[in-house]
Each structure stands twice: as structure tokens, then as C-alpha cells.
Amino acid sequence: MLSMKTYLILILTASLTILNAVKAQEITGLDGFSLFLDPGHSQTENEGLYNYSEAEKVLRVGLELRRLLLTYTDIDTVYISRTNDLQQVSLSQRTDLANFLAPDFFHSIHSNAGSASTNNTLFLHGGWRKDGQTVEKNPAGGKDMGDIMEIVHTAAMRIPTIGNYADRTFYQGFPTSHTNQWPYLHVNRETNMASVLSESGFHTNPTQQQKNLNTEWKHMEAMSFFWVMLEYLDVERPTVGIGAGLITDADNDLPINGATISIGDSTYTTDTDESLFDQYSALPNALRNGFYYITGLQPGQAELIATADGFYSDTVEINIDSTDFTFTDVALISSVPPFILSNSVGNDSLINPGEDLVLQFSRSMNTQSVDEALSFFPEVEYSSSWNSNGTELSINTTSLEFISNYTLTIDSTASDNSIYEHSLDGNGNGESNGDFVLDFETGQEDINAPVITSIYPDGVRPDGLWPIASISFDEHLDTTKIDNSTVQIRIGTYSVPGVVKYYTVDEKSVLNFFPSERLEPNKFYKLQFDGSISDTAGNSLGKNVLRTFQTPNFEYVNATEVDDFEGGINSWWQPSQSGSTTGYLAEETIISVTDKTLNLLTESSQAMQLNYGWDTTSAENLIREYRSVGLPRFGNQRFVQSYIFGDGSENLFRFMIRDGSNQLEGSSWQTIDWIGWKLVTWDLAQDSVIAWVNGNGSINGNSYVDSYQLTYKKGGAVTGTLIFDDFRVVDKGLPTSTEEIDSNLPVRVELSQNYPNPFNPTTSINFGLPENGDVSLKIYDMLGREVAVLFDGVKKQGYHSITFDASALASGVYIYRLNTNTGAITKKMTLLK
Amino acid sequence: MNSKIFTSSTLLLLSVLTPFLVQGQPRVVGEPEVLISSDETIFMKPLWSPDGSSLAFTSTRHQGIWVAEASGDNMQQITDKNAGYGFSWSADGKSLLTRVSEYENRRQKHAISIFSIENKAQQLLTEFRNDMPATPQWADFDRQVVLITDESVEAFDTGKEIGTREKMTTNKLFYVLKSNKLAAGMIPTNSTEDISPFDDAQYLNLEVSPDGQKLSFEIYGGNLFVMNIDGTGLVDLGKANRAKWSPDSRYVIAMVADDDGHEYTKSDLVVFSIDGTQKINMTQSSDIVAINPSWSPTGNRIAFDNPRDGNIYVLSIEY
């Protein structure tokens, strides 16, 4: 007869799969229960951001969970499928070992991957649909465990949840009966015990992944799973005292590194480059999580004190919960006085009357105080405007005299927007109360109309049905003469709605027109630029400029996002970090996030800006803008695309991918002869493939993006700036959606259930708008990945119907989301093939 | 002249090698054929009976055991219990030995059970227990069943009769997995001897060759190995899982699978010669994920399953 408790030591080459620990056994009620923990993947598989893998993270969550259970409860046994970063364990061996040992429950621990802007939890137990009902696998228990995880673990993560699903319903939708009446996932299918697989946030989400790097974050995740196990077994939680939260900069919501949090006698210092982040990024202050986690606190009233260098300390009265985490986030206010980061006058100290003089401030300003503190000498009348967060001031200079000297002064009565009202550090010495003084000259009067240097589309069919029309000039324009009618795309008497944006690149300028609705395929459109377009001196074109173009008979579909940059640029290396980058000026070459120049065809709020400079004496010049995430993977028949804001530098650009043979293959070099936004496309099947390093000029499928690459072309600009947005991989397909408009007016934004539902392969989505406005209708899979954009632009008031053709998608449950100015509405639909 | 000598020598050599060539390398004839399928149930882990006349298999989650004739006909469910992991045929092909499990208060209880193929009767050899981190093994010419854990060796009478020849020999060894050991056991002393080739390794999927001279096994987190029953002659066959022996004990067949951490992305069946010098792909299909092979005692068929459709397939083999 065996003893009731079996503490097996399962050792694998320096790995321990079960710990025979000395137990405090404060918590009873787990006697006779055994658990198999399965940290998913192996070694450093499923690389996330910052070269920190899912496998490394979930292993540590699993180890901590096992420690908690063995130390504090009377549980019989906790097995674990991996105990170190060296083991390579196949799926079959995990379930073979679990089935051999016959524990009572199997928990596979994972984190998720996808878009940088997506982050949620998900729980999958074994199950399928039969006769209109969802059936849980036998042995049952995974659903119950998943239900508890959905609440308890999601609350700990403080992110949304997709929910707890029978795995086959998650991947294949909700038909009356599934064809395959068995669990979808291997760990649910082959285990002969109750089981669940958990997905704890996205390791491709920068905010989440920077927390994942923190040791105590993983302890917190483990503690929540610990409570889940207790609830599953109807065991009460023990008394705890755990304070946790985020410390951020009140100015910009960025987490603060090195902040110290004190609760009673306990303190915690948030991660710093030295303590943690140096292992994952060579760039100072590139990573931050602001996370703190303090255990062993006495439940009840307590005082939390948060301090950080460069910030005012803050004290918060908190009530420590005895059975749960006590989350307290603190936004600290910077004690550094505001200063001026940059101005648009530049090194030549020259500005032409009519060009805006732009000042960038280091933090949000009290705009009235700045306006009152600003003066010109000689005195002039001027107008100015601020951006929405009070960090950028644009001064109109049309009233300035030509060929004159001016001094702009902002005295130290200007103050920031914080409750401390710090005075301006105008002279940049780190202290308040210094005036900002800017001397500059104005240029001579211009009497010539602006010269058109390029038009798009002009004599070519545009690349897709969402063309960004463009007209470039040799000089800056008078922005007061530009509105959304300055550039028009027309068919017959109908003018396609859209947005006109004006950009400057050095001395040149460009107008981009972003259509708000898709153009009809294979039609002739007129592109019209208004004759009122004028330079800053008032010289106009004089007459309208017209072009005619024919739209193609295709559109790009099935977009797989590489990076929309909404989550920042942490998955991209600085150019200098790649050993392949050569012949460049280090001080000029850097990537950063910009929220100023964006692709308006999407809901973009951020893009990646690359400033660069070349060492023209070098024999070789290459900037490899490397992406460190080997996802998503894509096949040979697809199109690699990115919107690129060009600088007209005449330097060269190309895409570089790494294929399934791990070989580097690139697109042909393309001259950057445009300014403004342009969609750059590489047809992997038809366009040239250029071998690089170990490549062979042929793409062997299963590829992923390696980098954007630039090189210097003799005669090209020595310095420049490119902006990248909405990097994706797409298919080319026939136009799929058509629209009908109902003239009745809804009183509120409405989104109807799609019909039919389930559907195969087309369905109609109806929505109503009480007024004209910006609208997007997008399709997401259940992992939160955007799979289709049905519309993104301006819609008129009334009812609209859009047909969605999902021929290229797999069966499953999808989410459609209508975004309007008043909010978002989301519904689910089921594609059943 | 020389040519004739050569020809004669060749013929002589061929005649000498003929018996060996007849048992040459196994090769697949034709495409895999579906042997057993069901509209609702996914079957897996087929295992041929000792005489090759029947096939036993389980379904997902190792729920239930079914038996069918080698032709795939006359399928019958022997049990619907949680009994499909680690079952084994008795030498006479009349019984299946397994561990059965039931849930009570979120906890599994386990018992050793024998099922009769003829009448599906269940014979419980133990009471239901809280822990049973091992699978039972036939021993002593099926007259006994042993359950070996780190802490104990237990033997249970099965009530099976044994022949006169077997009665003369009561010291046949059996081989079992312990938590971090391979062990050879002896009846009636119920003793075990450590024959582990590696220290501190976890072993999985132990199989004894039909001639009783070799063992195949996996190292958890590692490769597939074969060795002599005394622990000598270790051969690393590389990355492969769930191996089964050929009836002539010269080969093992195993699944070589890739997975993405959630699912098998591909799997093929590969035959390995036990000296590690030959490696023969038996499937090369992207449509079928071939797993859980079992080599018929007649030598000419290999059964396996495919988790994508839940069918049991067979490959026809020639030598």
C-alpha cells in the first residue's frame, strides 16, 4: 500500500520537476490534490519584445506558483514540466509525463502574442459544440478553473479579458455541432485529467512586456493563480498584505524608473537600467515599468510614500486588503522647471516671413502665461496657436519685415501647467527664472509662384483603392489658404471626402490628400489642386491643376500587422545597435516616436521617425533599422507594405526579411524621391529579391521582417528624416465590400448584429450615424489581431451597410468594432466554412 | 573469364544473403489507408495484439478503450472509463491491463484493472487510491501484475493460468519506469535493480523488444535511445517519441514531430535501426500528422493515428 502522499523527485539533468519542500502548511484543504504545471514552450522560444521570451517568463511564473503551493499548503504534489531555461520539452513529452504521473489537474501557462497595441487575458479549456450546446471535455474541471482565472487572474493583471472558452469554440466558432468532437489544443486533447491553458497578457505589448521583465510581477501573477487554486478547491484565501501598483510621471504618464515606495517599514524601488533594463536594452531610459510589489504588510490603514529623483514626493492613505492585492497607482509631479527643447529657426538663424516659428517645450505649459511673457524686438503684431497638450507653440510670422533682425524673448514669468507652476528655465541652466532669448533674421521677399515638383498619381494607376494623393512644391505654402477642398478627387460631380494635410521638408512642402472612403475599382477620377495654393509670400498658382487617373481593379486585403507603432518602437533597435549599420553619423542617426506626422488613412496616433546622417567619406553606407521580433510569419505570395513619409533625399530604401531558411532577402533599392506620405509595396512573388549576407535571392516561405534599410547615394542628402507607419503584410484581392446608404437618420450611433450569422463567406454589417463624422469599421480575431479594415474615414449621417467577404479567413469567431467620435461598439460574429 | 567468376561470386553471395535480404530494410507500399474512423470520436494510440489479429486503441484524453479486428471490422468498446493511458495486452491476447481513474471532490482516484476482451468484464486488482504515479505492468508470464513506484514494489495475482513451460521458469525480468530511473524487476522477490544509463534523468515510454534483449526509451527533454537490458550498449537515435519495436527486434518506429507549443505542426513516422545507422522515413505527408505508431507482430503493417481527423491509419510494409 502506498502512502497517501507521494513526493516524487523527478530530476532531469539538473532539473527538478517536483520539490519535496519543507512546508509551512498554513493552508489546509489541499490534501490529496496533485497538480501538473506546464510552463509553455522551451528555452527562449516565442521571443517577445526586448529579446525576452514567453518561455522564460512563464517558467518563472510556474516556479513561483509551485513554491507557493508547496510552502504554504498541504497539497500532495506539484509537478512541473520545466524547471530551467535549458530544457527542450516537446508537447508529446509534457502530456506523456503528466498522464504517467496522473495528477488531478493540468495547468498550461502561456502568454500571448500579436499586435503591439493589444493586451488581454484568455483561458481555454477542452471543449466543443454538440447539438447546440457547448460540451466540456471529460474529465471536467477545466471550465471551472478557467472561470475562476478569468476573474481572479485578470483582476491581478489589470487588463481586459477575452474570456474563458471551450478551446474548439474559440478557434472554430459556435456552430450547432463541431465536426470534430474533441478538444482543439494538444494539452487539453491528450491529458487524461482536468485541464486549462491560460494566456496572461501579450509579450508583444510594450507596456505589458516591460512589466513581465520584473521579477515581482511574475510573483504577482503566480499569487493570483495560487488564489485560483484555493478557490477551485473551496479553500479560503489566507490573510495577506500586498501593496502593488504603478508610479508614473504626471506630465506624460510614463512609468518612473528608480522611484521608491514606502509602506510602513517596507520599501520597494522600481526597476532601473542598472538593476534590470540594461540586460534588455543598450539605450538609457528606453525601458520602464514603474511597478512595485510589497508583501508582508499589515492589513488595515497605512501610509504610502512615493519618491523619485526629479519629482515631488507624494503621500497616500491606503487601506491594505487582507485577502487581495491592494493596488495604488501614484502619478508624481516633476520638480524640473520647463525649458525649450527646440525651435524651428534652425542653425542658419533665418526664417522667411510667412513660415511658422515653432517652439517645443519640455512639459505642458500654462499657455496664457507664455503668451503674456512672449515679446518680439522690434515689436510686431503676430498671431500664435498651441497644440492640445500645451507643449508646442506655433507663431505666425507673416507680419514680420523682410531682411530684418528680430529677437524673440520669453521671460521667466512663463510657467508650466503643474500645481507647482514652475517658472521657465529659459536659459537652460536647470533652474527656474531664466529668460529665453532667440535672435534671428528674416529672408528676402518672394515674388514667384510655388513650383510644382511632383504629383501623384500622375500618369500611373495608384497602388490600391486608398491612394494618398500628393502635390509637392519647391517652397513652403501659406497654410491659411489650405483646407480640405484644396485638393479634391472627383468622379463626375461627386467629390470624394477626405482630409488634406500640409507638411514641410526643409525648404520644400507637400500637400497630401487622404481619402475617407475607398475609391471605386477600375474608374477614372480627376485629381484637382486648387489655384489658390500660395506660397508664404502670397504668390498663388493662379489656376487649378488637374490630372486624370484610373483606379486599379484590386485592393489589398487580409492585412497582417507587422507594426502600427501604436505601442511605441521598443521592438526596434536603434540603428547603431546593429553591427551591419556602417558609414553613418552616430550623433545624427536615431529613431524616436512621433505623434506629429501620421498616416491618416488609419487611426494612427504614433509613427516611427528615423533621423539619419551619412559619413560620405566611408566606402560603405548602410543603416539597418532592425526589428527584434520574429513575428508575424508570412508566405511567399504576399505583399510587404509600409507607409513611408519621404524626405526627397534621393538616398535609397529597401525592405529586408529573413525567410524560413533563416536567410536574409531584400527588395530592390528604391530611390527616396518623394516627400510626404507614400505606400511602398514589395510584391514577394513578382518583384526582385536581392540576397543579402547569407541570402540566395530566393524566398523560402515562413518569413518575417528583419529591417528597414537605407543607404547613401552619391549626390543624395547627407542628413534626412523618414517616418514609418502601418507596416503590414497583405494580399492582393478583388474588391470585396460594397455599400448601400439608407437615408433615415438614427438618433444615436447604432451597430446591428451582422446578417447572416454564422456566415460563409459574406455577411452584411449595418450601422447608423446621427451625424457626419470619422468612422472606422474593423474586424479582429479573438486574439485581438486586426484582420480586416472594412472602412476607415468620414461617413455621412444615416444608415450604412457594408458587405464583408471573409473568403480568405479561417473559420472562427471574429469581432467587429465600430469606432466613432462618440465611442466604440463591438460585436461578435461567426465565420463557419 | 573474369566476368564469369564475378557473376558466380555474386550469385554465391546473394544466395548466402538471401535470408537477410528477405528481412531487409522495411519500406512503405502505397499510401496510408484509413483503418478505423468515427464521425464523433477521435481515436488514438493503436496497439496491436500479440498475434496481430486485433488492434486496441483509445480516444482523446485517453477516455475509453476499443478493440477491432486487424481488418478494422467488428469494433467494440471495451470500456468507457478513463483507462486509455498506458494499457497493455496480455500475452494470450485475451485481456488488457490498465490504470482506471475516477474523479471525486476534484481529485482523481486510481485503480489497477484488467478488462476481458471477450466479455468486457472489469477485474479490479486494487482499490481506488489517491495517488498512482505509475502504470501497471504484466509480470511472471501474466500471472501477476506489478506496480512500481519510487517507494514500493507491489505485485497482484491476476488469476491467469500459465503453461507448463512457463511454470519451469519463474524468474523472467520485467522493466519499469521509476521517477528518475529505469529498473529491472524480478518475481517473486519483488526486487528491482537500477539499470539507468544516466544519472538524474527522467525516462519515458519504455518498451521492451520482442526478443527480450533490448529496451527503447525517451529521456524527458531529450532523445530516443535503445540499449541492452543490462544497461549496456546505449545508442542515441535522436529526437523522436513514442517508439515501438519491429517484430524482429531490429528496428523501432517512432514519431518525429514539430510543435509550436500549442499544437503539432507536423509529424512523420521514422524507422530507426537499433544501431543508429539507418533512419527511414515512412511518411512524408503534410496532410497527415502521423503519431503514435504501432508495428504489427506480423511485420507487414504499421498502425498510427492522426489528430487532425481522429482516424486510425495503417501503412503496408515490405522488406
| pLDDT given for residue A256 in this prediction | 98
A9 contacts B261? CB cut-off 8 A: no
Looking at per-residue pLDDT, the higher value among B226 and A795 belongs to B226
Say what the ipTM of the complex is: 0.90
Which residues in chain A have Cβ-Cβ distances shorter than 8 Å to B113? none
**Pick from B62, B149, B220: which is nearest to A93 by CB?**
B220
Name every chain A residue with its beta carbon within 8 A of the beta carbon of B221.
12-13, 15, 42, 82, 87-89, 93
A740 contact partners, CB below 8 Å, separation of at least 6: A800, A801
Q: Is B31 on the interface with A (CB under 8 A)?
A: no
**How many beta-carbon contacts under 8 Å exist across A and B?**
184
Which residues between 157 and 186 in chain A have a beta carbon less than 8 angstroms from any beta carbon of chain B?
Answer: 180-183, 185-186
Within an 8 Å CB–CB cutoff, is residue B246 touching chain A? Answer: no
Question: What's the pTM value of the predicted model, to 2 decimals?
Answer: 0.72
Going across the sheet that includes A392-396, the strands are A340-343, A357-361, A392-396, A383-386
Q: Do A34-232 and A340-442 show the same overall fold? A: no
Q: Would you call A17 and B261 a contact, using CB atoms and an 8 Å cutoff?
A: no
**What is the C-alpha separation between A236 and A228, in angstroms, rounded?**
10
Contact status, residue A337 vs residue A424, Cβ threshold 8 Å = yes
- Alpha-carbon distance values, B262 to A73, A484, B14, B124, B227 (Å): 30, 50, 51, 36, 32
For the domain spanning A739-831, the CATH number is 2.60.40.1930
> What architecture does CATH give domain A452-551?
Sandwich (2.60)
How many angstroms away from the CA of B13 is the closest CA of chain A? 45
Sequence-distant (≥ 6) Cβ neighbours of residue A578 within 8 angstroms: A624, A625, A626, A707
* Range A557-733 classified under CATH 2.60.120.10: no
Instruction: Please say whether the beta carbons of B145 and B137 come within 8 A.
Output: yes
Q: How many CB atoms sit inside 10 A of residue A805's CB?
A: 19
Note the CATH number of domain A340-442: 2.60.40.3710
- Please state the domain extents for chain B: 29-72+131-318
Q: What is the pLDDT of residue A736?
A: 55
- Distances in whole angstroms, Cα of residue A398 to Cα of each of A381, A537, A593, A720: 9, 8, 31, 27
pLDDT score for A9: 31
Walking along chain A (833 residues) 10 residues at a time, the average pLDDT comes out as 30 33 68 97 90 95 98 96 95 96 97 84 96 95 98 97 93 87 94 97 93 98 98 96 97 94 97 95 88 97 97 97 97 96 88 89 96 96 93 93 95 94 93 92 90 93 95 92 92 90 93 94 92 90 93 90 86 84 89 90 89 93 89 90 97 94 92 96 95 91 92 95 96 64 67 80 83 84 81 78 79 85 82 72
- Show me where the domains of chain A are located: 34-232, 242-332, 340-442, 452-551, 557-733, 739-831
Cis peptide, bond prior to residue A299, ω within 30 of zero: no
For A646, residues 6+ apart whose C-beta sits below 8 A from its C-beta are A672, A673, A674, A675, A676, A678, A722
The mean per-residue pLDDT over the stretch B78-89 comes to 96
Contact B86 A99 (CB under 8 A): yes
From chain A, the residues in CB contact with B220 under 8 A are 10, 12, 17, 89, 93, 97
Please determine, for residue B241, whether its predicted confidence score (pLDDT) is greater than 60: yes
Q: How many CB atoms lie within 10 A of CB A455?
A: 16
The correct answer on CATH 3.20.20.70 for the domain covering A34-232 is no
Q: For residue A784, give the C-alpha cell.
A: 485581438
CA distance A1 to chain B (A): 8
Shortest alpha-carbon distance between residue A705 and chain B (Å)? 19
Q: In CATH, which of 3.30.70.3270, 3.90.230.10, 2.60.40.1120, 3.90.1650.10 is domain A242-332?
A: 2.60.40.1120
B84 close contact with A: CB closer than 8 A: yes
Chain A residue numbers touching B307 (CB-CB < 8 A): 186, 189
Q: Which of B135, B198, B259 sits opposite A100 (nearest CB)?
A: B135
The CA-to-CA distance between both ends of chain A, in Å, stands at 54
Pick the CATH number of B29-72+131-318 from 3.40.50.2300, 2.130.10.10, 1.10.10.60, 3.20.20.100: 2.130.10.10
User: Is A131 part of the contact surface with chain B (CB cutoff 8 Å)?
Assistant: no
Per-residue confidence (pLDDT) for residue B294, from 0 to 100? 98
Instruction: Flag whether residue A2 sits within 8 Å of chain B, measured between CB atoms.
Output: yes
Choice between B150 and A467, residue whose per-residue pLDDT is larger: A467
List of chain B residues whose C-beta atoms are within 8 Å of the C-beta of residue A13 = 198, 200-201, 221-222
